[in-house]
Structure 1
Amino acid sequence: MTTDPADTSATPAPAAAGPAAVREAVSCAGLTYAFGGTRAVDDLDLGVHEGEVFGLLGPNGAGKTTAIRCVTTLLPVPAGTVRVFGHDAARERMAVRRLLGYVPQQLSADGGLTGRENVALFARVFDVPRRERAARVDLALRAVDLCDAVDRLAATYSGGMVRRLELAQALVSAPRLLILDEPTIGLDPIARTGVWEHINAVREATGMTVLVTTHYMDEADQYCDRVGLMHRGRVRALGTPEELRRGLAEREATDTLPTLEDVFRDVAGSGLDDNTGGGFREVRSTRRTARRVG
Structure 2
Amino acid sequence: MAGKGIPGLEHLHTWISIPFCFAYTLALLGNCSLLFIIRADAALHEPMYLFLAILATIDLVLSSTMLPKMLAIFWFRDREINFFACLVQMFFLHSFSIMESAVLLAMAFDRYVAICKPLHYTTVLTGSLITKIGMAAVIRAVTPVTPLPFLLRRFYYCQGPVIAHCYCEQMAVVRLACGDTSFNNIYGIAVAMFIVILDLLFVILSYVFILQAVLQLASQEAHYKAFGTCVSHIGAILSTYTPVVISSVMHCVAHRAAPHVHILLAIFYLLFPPMVNPIIYGVKTKQIRDYVLSLFQRKNM
TM-score range, shorter chain: under 0.3
Q: Name the larger-Rg structure.
A: 1
Higher relative contact order (CA 8 A, sep 6+): 2
Q: TM-score with structure 1 length normalisation?
A: 0.27
Q: Determine which structure has the larger strand proportion and give its number.
A: 1
What is the TM-score of this pair, normalised by structure 2? 0.27
